[in-house]
Structure 1
Amino acid sequence: MTISPYRLGASLYMPAVRTDIIDVVLKNKIPGLSSLIICFEDALAEQDIAAGLSNLHTVLAVLRQHRHANHSHANCEHNHANRDHDRPLVFIRPRHQAMARLLVDEFDLSTVNGFVLPKFTQATLDEWTDILEPTQLLWMPTLETAEVFDALAMRELVNVLDTHPCRSRMLAIRVGGNDLLNVLSLRRQRHKTLYDGPLGYVMKMLVSTFGSRQFALTAPVCELIERNDILTEELKADIEHGFVGKTAIHPNQIDIINQALAVEATEYEDALRIVNSGAAVFKHNGAMCEPATHTRWAENILTRAQYYGHQKRWLTSIPG
């Protein structure tokens, strides 16, 4: 089953030592969660790595048992597909390539959707390819190193990725905001969105570079846990720039992210008309709609609405 990057939504990072990961994945402990990332990198102290690996082994064993139990029921394939769609997607962020190789070689990752690749650069592409080639895992590289500030380096990277065998397995490219600020010896200002600081340029450049080649991107975390107003403003900019989801670090951010991803009624109506109209150009909701240039946008809007809904109001007759 093909997974849409729009299904990522609010991707919650969870340290690998968390003992409630199973409850989150299988028991809906965090309602509305679309995807989670079991983290061995920044969210885990060095002394906790062994405990995290042990916990991951337990989590994977329980997920396998749950999958096998589903297959034992009548109509197992249909039921299993529905349950897999209902539960959050599960990704692992290894600490480095050596840990990734350990996980691939020694862990049963059949219930994991993919890896988040930390500190991803063109120089690490061959090694990640060698590690992940034997698996079916999806890729989510994270752009968070000094090279990201170099527009030429990013253009070279997208040129390589666009024709690389990993292209079909690359679900989305993640942008690591805090790591990029760390490169500049900076920290996010408490009263501003990322777009109001030095990363504003980077976000726009990455969208232009990767989005124009049809790579999906997810937006950086807003670590201001108690500033929902800043998160809300930042989400408006994320969506305006075409990001398909956003990293979350606290469950309280999930509903806010999901609500922001819900499609506005006027956009939903425009999208329906654009994909169904036979006209070359027409006016709707006070704006020109031109299928030749707006169809990609419309298809993305309708896909987003499938996962996060749309604001409902009276819909006039839709062509087709």
Structure 2
Amino acid sequence: MNKRLSPWRLGATLYMPATRTDISDAILKNKIAGLRSLIICLEDAVSENDIPQALNNLRQLTLMLAKAKAAGGNTHWPLVFIRPRHAEMGELLVATLDLSAIDGFVLPKFTLASLPCWWNLMQDTHLCMMPTLETEEVFDVLQMRELATTLKHHPCHQRIIALRIGGNDLMNVVALRRSRSQTLYDGPLGYVIKMLVAVFSSRDFALTAPVCEHIDDHQMMDKELALDMAHGLVGKTAIHPNQISTIEKALMVQPADHADALRILNSSQAVFKSQGSMCEPATHRRWASEVLARAQVYGIATEQAQESIRLLTTEA
């Protein structure tokens, strides 16, 4: 069984419709600066009429990637995932395509009821999984608790990199669209994200943050990313390349947090003061480990980045 990849390797995960003909450039030629992971989408981003074209594009792409990987050319590639339209399409992809260069599947509209079907088609592959939580059931804490408990003890657990929170689909369930003047946390999704963090993170699952669809509002993006980080989310969906650098900057570790994390993991004291705050290794150790794992991938923020955060906090 393939061990799951670290969720910290996801960064800003860019969605690209499978109808696009330039996906190979993003993977093979590093045409998108800073791209760590991308999802080739066959679901919501592709209309029903375009499915044949999308499948044909994907077939050609997977052959090209498999050939390049066999030649040892995948050292610096971003992680590559495919988002099938449904489990039946996923079964078709596994049966007919060369997926040797693909890292995993994003599982749309994932529920407890759909788990057996998805696992049946994926268990004998090398593919990792990123289930997407985006249906009516997600608003029910009891159903989410049952799902999280089942996944924790299921053989698929070691294949799940992270669970993706599908913000737009969840807003659609309650007949809303996110406000242009507020973060996603200011509406009903604020409750949902908090609940999912409580239910899934406590069972050792990582969660990724929903997309910020207001592409040109960088101030809104910064505010929302600060809240994403405060909730322990490990990355964020991107829908445009110009969002990648902003997400990457937010994922950098603040120097004060890095210093505290090192002290917590290396101290023999039960409780001590650091930078004006109490540190208690018994309760802060998991946080400290995650901080160092994130710093290893994204680095430590510079003074300029810290100043941007101070200004943002002041303006807020």
Query: Structure 1-normalised TM-score?
Result: 0.92
Q: Which residue of 2 aligns with 1:121?
A: 111
Q: How does 1:189-208 map to 2 (within 5 A)?
A: 189-208=179-198
2:132–2:164: 8 Å Cα contact kept in structure 1? Answer: yes
Structure 2 Cα separation of the partners of residues 269 and 104 of structure 1 = 46
Residue 45 of structure 1: CA displacement? Answer: 0.9
Q: Which residue of 2 aligns with 1:301?
A: 291
2:270–2:282: 8 Å Cα contact kept in structure 1? Answer: yes
Structure 2 Cα separation of the partners of residues 238 and 2 of structure 1 = 23
Q: Which residue of 2 aligns with 1:36?
A: 38
Aligned partner of 1:246 among 229, 236, 247: 236
2:264–2:288: 8 Å Cα contact kept in structure 1? Answer: yes
Structure 1 Cα separation of the partners of residues 4 and 172 of structure 2 = 35
Structure 2 Cα separation of the partners of residues 68 and 210 of structure 1 = 37
Q: Which residue of 1 aligns with 2:224?
A: 234
Listed as ranges, the gaps of 5+ residues in structure 1 are 71-79, 314-320
Residue 2 of structure 1: CA displacement? Answer: 5.5
Q: Which residue of 2 aligns with 1:27?
A: 29
Residue 311 of structure 1: CA displacement? Answer: 2.1
Structure 1 Cα separation of the partners of residues 284 and 28 of structure 2 = 39
Matched AA of 1:167: H
Structure 2 Cα separation of the partners of residues 311 and 15 of structure 1 = 33
2:4–2:160: 8 Å Cα contact kept in structure 1? Answer: no
Structure 2 Cα separation of the partners of residues 144 and 67 of structure 1 = 33
Residue 69 of structure 1: CA displacement? Answer: 1.9
Aligned partner of 1:218 among 186, 208, 219: 208
**Secondary structure in 2 aligned to 1:122?**
coil
Q: How does 1:1-320 map to 2 (within 5 A)?
A: 3-70=5-72, 83-84=74-75, 86-312=76-302
Listed as ranges, the gaps of 5+ residues in structure 2 are 304-316
2:134–2:169: 8 Å Cα contact kept in structure 1? Answer: yes
Residues matched between the structures, number: 301
Structure 2 Cα separation of the partners of residues 311 and 239 of structure 1 = 14
Residue 207 of structure 1: CA displacement? Answer: 0.3
**Secondary structure in 2 aligned to 1:142?**
strand
Structure 1 Cα separation of the partners of residues 266 and 209 of structure 2 = 31
Q: Which residue of 1 aligns with 2:308?
A: none
Give % identity.
58
Residue 312 of structure 1: CA displacement? Answer: 4.8
Matched AA of 1:22: S
Matched AA of 2:143: A
Structure 2 Cα separation of the partners of residues 45 and 90 of structure 1 = 22
Residue 3 of structure 1: CA displacement? Answer: 2.0
**Secondary structure in 2 aligned to 1:57?**
helix
Structure 2 Cα separation of the partners of residues 159 and 190 of structure 1 = 36
Q: Which of 55-64 and 89-98 deviates more?
A: 55-64
Q: Which of 276-285 and 141-150 deviates more?
A: 276-285
**Secondary structure in 2 aligned to 1:62?**
helix
Matched AA of 1:47: N
> Are residues 145 and 2 of structure 1, via their aligned partners in 2, closer, same or farther at CA, if it must alter by over 3 Å?
closer
Residue 17 of structure 1: CA displacement? Answer: 1.2
Residue 28 of structure 1: CA displacement? Answer: 1.0
RMSD: 1.2
**Secondary structure in 2 aligned to 1:37?**
strand
